[in-house]
Amino acid sequence: MNDRYHLDALLNAKRIHILGIAGTAMGTFAGMLKARGVEVRGSDAAAYPPMSDQLHSQAIPLMLGYAPENLDWGPDFVIVGNVIRQVNPEATAMRERGLPHASFPEAFGQLFLRNRRPIVVTGTHGKTTTTSLIAWLLEHGGTQPGLFVGGVPLNFGRSFRLGDGLPFVVEGDEYDTAYFDKAPKFLHYAPQVGVITNIEFDHADIFSDVDVIETWFARFAALLPPQGRLVVHGAEARARRAATAAACPIETYGRGAAVRGAGLDEPEWHAEDVSLSGDGATFRLWRGDRDLGLFDSPLPGLHNVDNTVAALAVVIGDGLPHNTARTGLAAFRSVKKRQEVKGVVRGVTVIDDFAHHPTAVRETVSAISARYLRHPGARLFCCFEVESNTSRRRVFQSDYPPAFDGASVVLFCKPLDKADNLPEDARIQLPEVVGSLEAMGVEAHLIPEVDDIIAWLVPRLRAGDVVLGMSGRHFHGFHDRLLMELDIHRGNDPTH
């Protein structure tokens, strides 16, 4: 028996309050609860797009700031986000009032994954894109899957769908669950099909090292039933090692050349003859020694070839005809904040991306360079907000400069300040990062305020340039504000 709630209290709840509702997962879950017929309200310290827009569009009330009175509307159940600490005044009031409560992952698993076929996508990188693509390919094939993902797939227009079919595609996050449950979220999702894209060190605020993270992924693999499937990146040693804990068949995937180059066995699902272009990528997909033909992907970058092969392995392996998967892939429209073009003004392309880990920054910069810098004189301006719990720490300080290889200019705003009492000697030192970039021959500046970054950029940008703004959150509205300023100063552009 759970000492926080009886299962019936959750299954029969009609009025649910969510602590931390503006987070990506929590805002998505709020929408799912409302679609289920539950009255939903919630609170958070702050809210920003795209989740603030999604909550508003679904008429879900949001209370800014945590306070006991936020619970006075009379919810009969409370969902507690992992951003909430035990001493949070609203969480304290929840316990004092004896309100039944659960974490988001356990509530989600109980309410939405029972009697479904959960397809759970895990890994340090690539989860959101791979999850979204799997769901779209299944939808294109008429399967009507459920979906829960930490982003907004453009094919669906929002980050969740209940679906009427058996499959339910879930992005499995390795971050912890709640203050009363410090294990990763993905342990609550009862996977029948699993994906491990890669395993790297991340979330330095809760994990001591990558070996600890790998152990949790092994526990995820062990959840799969003997009749399940586990699809694993063949070139990722830690992912392959964690996968050995599974009792089900393990299927590897990847770019054949990359896996062979690492001295590993050729993956079962492999892309050959990979070609990148301004329109994305083309490759020939093989399953073992069977040639499934050419596939055209709209997603740029070699990392997205890997993500695409993972998704194809899942859906084709689950019975979707490969020709149906081929046409579905060509119609995939990607995900908001994943190399999302926000606009083009004065010939300047402004792109938004979620990248914050050095590996994600490196792959994103490489993909954007290959796709957009195809004409002489075109330049890439990378603007980066240090805001995640890992990026704010010194742990990756030496990894960031080489991750920006290919950029013409790199601009940093001041790191996001959080109330986590992070000691100064543990924080990333951006002046040193700037110095390392300059030593590499890359122009770099620390310009603390976003307004001043925009003011610096506008007179220097010319037609053909690309501005890539990377942040795991809204970046103070940087992208839209830059486009607006470019438009205002259109008459001053000598190239216009």
* Residue 491 pLDDT level (bands cut at 50, 70, 90): low
Q: Is the pLDDT of residue 262 over 80?
A: no
Percentage of the residues of the chain whose pLDDT score is greater than 90: 82
**Extents of the domains making up the chain:** 7-106, 113-330, 340-492
* Residue 247 pLDDT level (bands cut at 50, 70, 90): very high
CB distance 15 to 75 below 8 Å? yes
* Residue 374 pLDDT level (bands cut at 50, 70, 90): confident
pLDDT computed for residue 24 by the predictor: 81
* pLDDT, tens digit, 9 for 90 and up, residues 156-215: 998 899 999 999 999 999 999 999 999 999 999 999 999 999 999 988 888 889 999 999
For residues 309-335, give the mean pLDDT: 97
Q: Three-state DSSP class for 305?
A: helix
Pairing status of strand 181-184 against strand 176-178: antiparallel
**Average pLDDT score, the chain:** 93
Which candidate, 488, 427, 476, 487, places its Cα nearest to that of 452?
476
* Residue 496 pLDDT level (bands cut at 50, 70, 90): very low
The C-alpha atoms of residue 109 and residue 31 are separated, in whole angstroms, by: 15
pLDDT computed for residue 446 by the predictor: 97
Residue 195's beta-bridge partner residues? 121, 231
What token pair was written down for 25?
Answer: 């997962």
* pLDDT, tens digit, 9 for 90 and up, residues 447-457: 999 999 999 99
pLDDT computed for residue 493 by the predictor: 53
Q: What's the CATH number of domain 340-492, 3.40.50.300, 3.30.110.30, 3.40.1280.10, 3.90.190.20?
A: 3.90.190.20
Top CATH class, 7-106: alpha beta
* Residue 494 pLDDT level (bands cut at 50, 70, 90): very low
CB distance 330 to 298 below 8 Å? yes
Place of tokens 């939903």: 40
Place of tokens 């709640």: 178
The C-alpha atoms of residue 113 and residue 14 are separated, in whole angstroms, by: 19
* Residue 72 pLDDT level (bands cut at 50, 70, 90): very high
Peptide bond into 50 cis (omega under 30): yes
Stated as kind and residue range, the H or E segment containing 90 is: helix 89-96
More confident residue, 417 or 327: 327
Q: Three-state DSSP class for 393?
A: strand
**Which of the given ranges, 23-37, 249-263, 295-309, has the highest pLDDT on average?**
295-309
What token pair was written down for 123?
Answer: 């890994």
CA distances from 8 to 19, 34, 105, 111 (A): 21, 18, 17, 11
CATH number at 113-330: 3.40.1190.10
Q: Three-state DSSP class for 277?
A: strand
What token pair was written down for 301?
Answer: 């970058």
Same fold, 7-106 and 340-492: no
pLDDT computed for residue 51 by the predictor: 80
